[in-house]
Amino acid sequence: MSDTAGDTARDTAAEAVEQAADETVDETAEETADETADETAEEAAERKRERRVAAWRAARRVLWHPSYQSTVRDRLAWLNDGAEGVYDLDQPVDMYGDRLVETLEERVAGLLGKEAAAFFPTGTMAQQIALRCWAGRTGNPAVALHELSHPEVHERHAFSQVSGLRPVHVTYAPRLSTAEEIQEVAEPFGTLMLELPLREAGFVLPSWEELSAVVEAARERDAVVHFDGARLWECTAHFGRPLEEIAGLADSVYVSFYKSLDGLGGAAIAGPQTLIDEAKTWRHRYGGMVLQQFPTALAALIGLERELPRLPEYVAHARVVAAALREGFMEAGVPWVRVHPEEPHTHQFQIWLPYESDVLGDAGLRQTEETKTGLFAQGWVRGGPGLAYTEVTVAAPGLEWTAQDVKAAVRDFVERLPR
């Protein structure tokens, strides 16, 4: 074969290989497009969620780092490190709520100024049992509560479906109920439940005088008062009073060990000894008599030791962050922004922006992936056409952010929004 013929053959072969490669690429692109088209909304949401978790784990600076974005190894290390000096780890483990769990119960009762306390695996179980016990004592299963309260929004009607209680809504307004509204409830109720702070309305609290008047109005109607205090721990700064005095307004109080204290879970009810004794009986009936709960109870003790004293500092800095967020978005040219409450009542608050929730979520995800800086840890919720909000929490990581740091992160976030 001549050199010319050989070159021609090689060129022809190369063209064939190139054409085959192009066809393969085209087929792959078509298959990818088909797969993307076949991807369900749920699968797309899960893929985005995985990206979000990965981005936050890789972030070097965040305003808040929720524990659910940690690894098992992270949480075990936190537990092991924090346990030193909090509890004698050479003691036998707890069995069905003794030893370590009893230590936690005594600590909670003392902090809240109540006769006794009972530990529960979940807050849903704890509050149902407390209110069920009160219904038996008052003879009235009706529970007056805000329509935005946690049992009504997040617990799938557990009060009525499981515990035989009957919710009576006081108001739907995005604030705590007033004394006048309590007085005007159209039917008798045995218990008034107050969520402090009211999360769905923006973690809002009444004034001390307003809260006292609401409690008095319930007493005038021969009702007992129960505080849904999942986040009661951080209310002292707003009220300017210690936990014991705040809890003293109520007949019983529920508190959570993970929402503000960074624990692994768990909750407690505090109140009169006779109520707590009965609640522990119902705890067994509801399936809450767990063999060993030392990891959760130990984490709660660590939270009380480490986080509880720092909550007033978090609340104070949340007000700095809130003001910087508002000013930062205005300076960046966003046409409208609202921080709610304008001065946060706790270390958590809402921020509202005039964009769709997916637009804001995508901008935040890109910012965290590209800059390793996380500004908004929670997802965005649609609040109306072209309007969305998210919750902002300021804890230990946020203390490192100055107002100028916040504004710089806001400018970077806004650059990723459509104009």
In this predicted model, what pLDDT tens digit does every residue of 144-163 receive, in sequence order?
A: 999 999 999 999 989 889 99
- Angle (CA) 121 126 127, round 5°: 150
**pLDDT level of residue 38 (50, 70, 90 thresholds):** low
261-280 mean pLDDT: 97
Q: Is the pLDDT of residue 27 over 60?
A: no
**178, 198 Cβ separation under 8 angstroms:** no
Q: Which helix (H) or strand (E) holds 307?
A: none
Q: Across the chain, what does the average pLDDT equal?
A: 91
Give residue limits of the domains in the chain. 74-306, 310-414
Q: Is the pLDDT of residue 90 over 80?
A: yes
- Angle (CA) 95 227 207, round 5°: 145
Task: Assign 3-state DSSP to the chain and report helix, strand, coil percentages, each to 5.
Answer: 55, 15, 30
317-339 mean pLDDT: 97
**pLDDT level of residue 69 (50, 70, 90 thresholds):** confident
Buried b (16+ CB within 10 A) or exposed e, 189-227: bbbbbbbbbbbbbbbbbbeeeebebbbebbeeeebbbbb
367-382 mean pLDDT: 95
User: What is the predicted pLDDT for the residue at 65?
Assistant: 84
Q: Which CATH fold topology does 310-414 show?
A: Aspartate Aminotransferase, domain 1 (3.90.1150)
Measured CA distances, 99 to 30, 102, 104, 282, 379 (Å):
63, 5, 9, 20, 39
Please count the residues of the chain. Answer: 419
73-77 mean pLDDT: 90
Which residue did the predictor score with more confidence, 253 or 40?
A: 253
Distance, first Cα to last Cα, the chain: 66
Left (φ > 0), alpha (ψ -120 to 50) or beta: where does 333 sit? left
User: What is the predicted pLDDT for the residue at 2?
Assistant: 42
Q: Is 304 helix (H, G, I), strand (E, B) or coil?
A: helix
pTM: 0.88
E-strand ranges in 53-158 read 61-62, 116-120, 142-145
Percentage of residues in the chain having pLDDT higher than 90:
81
Q: Tell me: the pLDDT tens digits for 107-148?
A: 999 999 999 999 999 999 999 999 999 999 999 999 999 999
Q: Is the pLDDT of residue 273 over 60?
A: yes
Residues 6+ apart with CB under 8 A from 20: none
Q: Is the pLDDT of residue 8 over 90?
A: no
Q: Is the pLDDT of residue 55 over 80?
A: yes
Residues 6+ apart with CB under 8 A from 158: 124, 128, 151
Q: Which amino acid is at 103?
A: T
**pLDDT level of residue 393 (50, 70, 90 thresholds):** very high
184-212 mean pLDDT: 97
Q: Which CATH fold topology does 74-306 show?
A: Aspartate Aminotransferase; domain 2 (3.40.640)
Phi, psi of 305 (to 5 degrees): -80, -40
